[in-house]
Amino acid sequence: MPRDAPASAPEDSVTRFEALYDTCYGDVLGYLLRRLDHPEAAADLVADVFVTVWNRIGDVPPAPQARPWVFGVARRVLANHRRGARRGNALAARLRLELGAAAVSRPDWEDQAVADIGRVFRTLSDKDQEVLTLAAWEALDPGQIAVVLGCARGTARVRLHRARGRFARALRGAGLDVASCLPPEPPPAARRTPKGALR
């Protein structure tokens, strides 16, 4: 009597995980590094993210949603970390050493104009800041942000729209406006290549 093939053969899981890791590793690490004070901490968190992805490889949605799904895992790992869960992932020891040499520079510490923008930005709620940075730093569209946040696409679109509106109003309220805050030279394809993401 023929036996049913398993839903996901082990070798498929390994292949799938490796492909996902190779596709998302750089972006996830960039996401974490941009949101952490200590680059070394990103090593532990990136290891946590991909351990989770591997343990849940059967739950990963099909290709177009897989990458934002991994960002969703990263978001939860980061949230746990911020709640005080500083943990050393033993797997990350070597990566931690490598990341010890990483430098994260914050434009709003170096440039007065950007510092002013940053001050206004930080008056927004955490939720607004999150959705704006997912769009602007990670170049995610509302559909992808919905996967990251685990909400409906329409909800993500509305949240992003409102957050942009609140930021624009807050800038005006601080005597700034969007046009005057634009980067001096628009980087080519800025939406496709978030700063700091090397791949």
Partner 1 sequence: MRADEGIDRVVGRLAPRVEAPFAHDPAGPAARELRSMIIRQSKETTMAGNPLRRRSLLIGIPVAAGLAGAAVVGTALVSPSSPAGPPAAEADVLAISEDGGYLDVTVNDPVADPVEYAHQFEEYGLDVDLSLVPASPTLVGRIVMSDAGGGIEVIEAPGECAATLGGCAIGVRIPLDHPDPVRLVFGRAPAEGEEYRSSGLVTDPGEILEDADLAGMRVSEARDALAERGMRASDYRYQVDFLTSDGTPSGVGASRVVAGDEVPGDWYVHDVVGTSDDSVLLFVGPGTETEQLPCDSPEALDAAEAAGAPATAACESLDTMSSPVPGS
- Indicate the residue among 65 and 176 with the shorter CB distance to partner 1: 176
Q: What are phi and psi of 102, to 5 degrees?
A: -80, 145
Nearest to 24 by CA among 148, 107, 143: 148
Q: Which stretch binds partner 1 (CB under 8 A): 21-29, 66-74, 144-152?
A: 21-29
Question: For residues 133 and 176, what is the distance between their CA atoms, to the nearest angstrom?
Answer: 20
CB 66, min distance to partner 1, A:
15
CB 154, min distance to partner 1, A:
16
Per-residue exposure over 30-53, b if at least 16 CB sit within 10 Å of its own CB, e if not: bbbbbbbeebbbbbbbbbbbbebb
Question: For residues 167 and 91, what is the distance between their CA atoms, to the nearest angstrom?
Answer: 40
Applying CB under 8 A, among 62, 103, 112, 175 the residue interacting with partner 1 is 103
CB 181, min distance to partner 1, A:
4
112 binds partner 1 (CB under 8 A): no
155 binds partner 1 (CB under 8 A): no
Question: For residues 159 and 153, what is the distance between their CA atoms, to the nearest angstrom?
Answer: 10
191 binds partner 1 (CB under 8 A): yes
71 binds partner 1 (CB under 8 A): no
79 binds partner 1 (CB under 8 A): no
Q: Which stretch binds partner 1 (CB under 8 A): 64-72, 103-111, 143-151?
A: 103-111
Distances (CA, A) of 1 to 4, 8, 52, 131: 10, 20, 36, 53
153 binds partner 1 (CB under 8 A): no
Applying CB under 8 A, the site for partner 1 has a residue count of 78
Which tokens is 194 given? 């978030």
Q: Which stretch binds partner 1 (CB under 8 A): 63-71, 89-97, 143-151?
A: 89-97
Q: Which stretch binds partner 1 (CB under 8 A): 64-72, 117-125, 147-155?
A: 117-125
Which tokens is 136 given? 């602007």
